[in-house]
Amino acid sequence: MSLEKPSRDTALDVGVTEDGLDYDALADLLGGHVLDREEHVNAEGFVIRPDEVQDVLSTLKEEAGFDHCACVTAQEYDDRYESIYHLRKYNDPTQELSIVVPSPKDDPHNESAARVYDTADWHEREAYDLVGIDYDDHPDLRRILLPETWQGHPLSQDYNQDQPQIVSLREHANPLKDDKRSEDDPDTMFVNIGPHHPATHGVLHVETVLDGEQIADLEPDIGYLHRCEEQMCQQGTYRHQIMPYPDRWDYISAGILNEWAYARAAEDLADIEVPEYAQVIRTMAAEMCRIASHELALATFALDVFGDFTAVFQYGIRDREIVQNLLEDLTGQRLMFNYLRLGGVAWDLPEPREEYFEKIRDFLDDLPHKLEEIHDLVTGNEIFQMRCVDTGVLSPEQVKQYGATGPVARGSGVDYDIRRDDPYGYYDELDWNVVTEQGGDNFSRVLVRLREVEESARIIEQCVDLLEQWPEDDREIQANVPRTLRPDPDKEIYRSVEGAKGELGIYIRSDGTDKPARFKIRSPCFSNLQTLPEMSQGEYIPDMIASLGSLDIVLGEVDR
């Protein structure tokens, strides 16, 4: 079995026992900071004062080992506002804790966590933008998804969704109109990249300040694709109306991975147990999506580095198309699969099964040769190496501070993979490896994705072996799920899966109805993109383009 987790010394972490977390010990560590305790699924909640956030989070990070601020969720109740900091550990994400910060209805604010975790910077800006909570001592509190001139906060209770708005562009005046130079340093030049540019992987605007030819400062400006997906999910029923949305967050190749993130959270919330046969199908289909996503990431990254539609792009698309064909045979759809159902999958494997298995095996048999071609063409290419080795470097400490996950984290040697560390589906029954590289640069992230394609192929092959031998009478694809799901009121959960781009998490709070009271998406691309300024500092524009490509973001998932 190759899925043994790396050994670690937990002696210094407070509250860690062989059976999991001892929340009483953690409460003792925080002492009088804990005003109350709440029952959340998997992650008990400690209620604290709004002006003690930094003290509490610093203590938990430094003395109890909670080095991963996975998500920040904000919401409004009838009598209060609330921020929830979902804390985890990179060494063991099953050790989870929720820090709940209520604030008054007439003056919603609490101390910022951005001084403790850099990843909270963008998450709190989003909470301010959409819900309307102020964060004291935040380094740069302003809107992040909507224009500065937007009136109101779309997820607040008093927001009028029917009121049309004319959004003035005065806050987004052309910075090149009057002066191209920074006021602080007249020798620097301000340059806009995007929002519509072939190298920005979507509608992303990057504001850069150049010192000569080197990047002195950089800021990603997002929000051009914001569709209020969370609010749309809050208006849909658990059973049928939410599942079509996850495909559209990362609309490129990761559909079933995204669907699984919602399915896992909702199934745990409603205590639904998925049949083993359906779990194997889900695992196989998810790894096909991972291969498709990584192939496209490689193709577009080569486009960034080489600068045109060279053979590498065509090779990546060629291999991805084969996986797309297999997924189309399985789901009936090419991109927006909508194949998972709460409690299982929509239907069984296509008939004749033997023909479908043969197609998969043909693909797997050809894959080593195709990967060898990619290595000859890309990773062995001297120009590619010169562009990628030692550029866009991200240290393991920076990864953790920004909450980066997926190949971005594993390319910096951070051994973190939800499939192994917080198992779901059929992953813990199969033989495969978590891939890491130590370089932390653009080259390492490419190597991780290519090696992960090999591991995904191993997983798919084992799933095919299992499915071929599965007794016909035991091929159960669906659990017995009530026609209308109404989870218990005030039940809260944060659950995640290992998406192609990293940790994709969903927070749901139920209110006893058939629709979520709060639905929050933790997008891996959102947190990963925060690292771009760190990666680009002191480098050249072409290096920044390569670094951005190596993050493998899709703006639909960043903005949601």
pLDDT tens-digit map of 244-272: 899 888 887 778 999 999 999 999 999 99
pLDDT digits (tens, 9 = 90+) for 497-529: 999 999 999 999 999 999 999 999 999 999 999
CATH topology of domain 229-559: Cytochrome-c3 Hydrogenase; chain B (1.10.645)
Identical fold at 16-136 and 229-559? no
* Collapsed DSSP state (helix, strand, coil) of residue 141: coil
Rounded Cα distance between 223 and 559, Å, is 5
DSSP category for residue 254: -
Is the predicted pLDDT of residue 5 greater than 70, yes or no? no
> What confidence score (pLDDT) does residue 17 get?
81
Token pair belonging to 247: 């495909």
* Collapsed DSSP state (helix, strand, coil) of residue 492: strand
Is the predicted pLDDT of residue 413 greater than 50, yes or no? yes
Is the predicted pLDDT of residue 280 greater than 80, yes or no? yes
Residue in the structure block whose two tokens are 């008990």: 44
Average pLDDT, the chain: 88
Cα dihedral 173, 178, 180, 185 in deg (nearest 10): -100
Q: Residues 23, 82: contact at Cβ < 8 Å?
A: no
pLDDT digits (tens, 9 = 90+) for 471-500: 988 999 999 888 888 999 989 999 999 999
> What confidence score (pLDDT) does residue 493 get?
94
> What confidence score (pLDDT) does residue 11 get?
52
Rounded Cα distance between 374 and 454, Å, is 13
Degrees, nearest 5: CA angle 210-212-214: 55
Residue in the structure block whose two tokens are 């909570």: 133
* Helix locations, 307-376, DSSP H: 311-331, 353-374
DSSP category for residue 33: G
Residue in the structure block whose two tokens are 């591991």: 455
| For the chain, domain boundaries | 16-136, 229-559
pLDDT digits (tens, 9 = 90+) for 296-310: 898 888 888 876 667
Cα dihedral 422, 423, 427, 428 in deg (nearest 10): 100
pLDDT digits (tens, 9 = 90+) for 7-43: 555 555 777 887 778 899 999 999 899 999 999 998 9
Q: Calculate mean pLDDT across residues 439-456.
A: 94
pLDDT digits (tens, 9 = 90+) for 211-236: 888 888 888 999 988 888 898 999 99
Q: Calculate mean pLDDT across residues 460-473.
A: 94
Q: Calculate mean pLDDT across residues 318-326.
A: 91
Token pair belonging to 559: 């903005």
Q: How confident is the model at residue 453 (pLDDT cuts 50, 70, 90)?
A: very high
Is the predicted pLDDT of residue 465 greater than 70, yes or no? yes
Rounded Cα distance between 300 and 315, Å, is 11
Global pTM? 0.90
Is the predicted pLDDT of residue 176 greater than 70, yes or no? no
Q: Which residues contact 380 (CB under 8 A, 6 or more apart)?
A: none
Level-2 CATH architecture, domain 16-136: 2-Layer Sandwich (3.30)
Q: Calculate mean pLDDT across residues 363-384.
A: 90
Rounded Cα distance between 532 and 485, Å, is 41
Backbone angles phi, psi at 83, to 5 degrees: -115, 135
Token pair belonging to 297: 């990431």
Q: Which amino acid is at 90?
A: Y
Q: Which amino acid is at 228?
A: C
Beta partners for residue 214, in sequence order: 211, 540
Q: Which residues contact 106 (CB under 8 A, 6 or more apart)?
A: none
Burial of residue 231 (CB within 10 Å: 0-12, 13-18, 19+) is middle
Q: Calculate mean pLDDT across residues 390-418.
A: 93
> What confidence score (pLDDT) does residue 1 get?
41
Token pair belonging to 217: 């400062």
> What confidence score (pLDDT) does residue 2 get?
47
Q: How confident is the model at residue 291 (pLDDT cuts 50, 70, 90)?
A: very high
Rounded Cα distance between 334 and 349, Å, is 16
What DSSP string describes 213-242?
A: TEEEEEEEE--TT---HHHHHHTS-TTTTS
